Structure 1
């Protein structure tokens, strides 16, 4: 186990790939400025500090993939969503990691 996966939790890329193939709700939790500089095709930007006030946007989604620059903020976003009853959340880690699975 790498240092980062020990710290932030490992990303299950098989689960990630399947979720993306099935049309997962892709959420970039970086700041608006970071998002504007490039992100994953089809992703929406809901910065980490807005997740709690934007929960309605996650309702009814089969799979949710959250990601950021390093995997830290997306790990926090996953926790917030799970604390609010969402069980179908995947921490995709970095946006470049998620991007390699999106067509």
Structure 2
């Protein structure tokens, strides 16, 4: 019984460390896209944005995604981020469904800040 618990713990730790590596890679790719001219969009609330945001980011809360992106060309590279990557993932899915072809989920704010300092 004890061995099964240890195996489960090791599997859980392995998955946790693996997800961190993937998250870092998505943030690094996001910065590469931003450095090449992608639009950087923070989809957190106005209040969250006011507490701190990435330097060149525009604030278009998730609740406004349907209308905010109407003026953006569908081929324009866009990087989205939020607090954890969940809301930016929702926004990414919506934009792709609307025909946007170059949308990337950069993940969470802290993740993006950490990747910016590399």
TM above 0.5, yes or no, is yes
Q: Which residue of 2 aligns with 1:53?
A: 67
1:13–1:69 Cα change, 3 Å: closer
Query: Does structure 1 retain, via aligned residues, the 8 Å contact 2:45–2:61?
Result: yes
Q: Which residue of 2 aligns with 1:25?
A: 39
Q: Give how far 1:30 is off.
A: 0.4
Query: Does structure 1 retain, via aligned residues, the 8 Å contact 2:28–2:116?
Result: no
- Higher relative helix content: 2
Q: Where has structure 1 moved over 6 Å in runs of 4 or more?
A: none
CA distance in 2, matches of 1:23, 1:3: 31
Q: Which runs of 5+ in 1 are unaligned?
A: none
Residues 33-84 of structure 1: CA distance to partner in whole angstroms, max 9, x if unpaired?
0001100001000000100111224326631000000111000000111011
- How many residues in Structure 1 have an aligned counterpart in Structure 2? 99
Q: Which runs of 5+ in 2 are unaligned?
A: 1-14
CA distance in 1, matches of 2:75, 2:41: 12
1:101 aligns with 2:116: yes
TM-score by length of 2: 0.71
Q: Give how far 1:14 is off.
A: 4.6
Q: Give how far 1:15 is off.
A: 2.8
Larger Rg: 2
CA-atom RMSD in angstroms: 2.5
User: Partner of 1:54: helix, strand, or coil?
Assistant: helix
TM-score by length of 1: 0.80
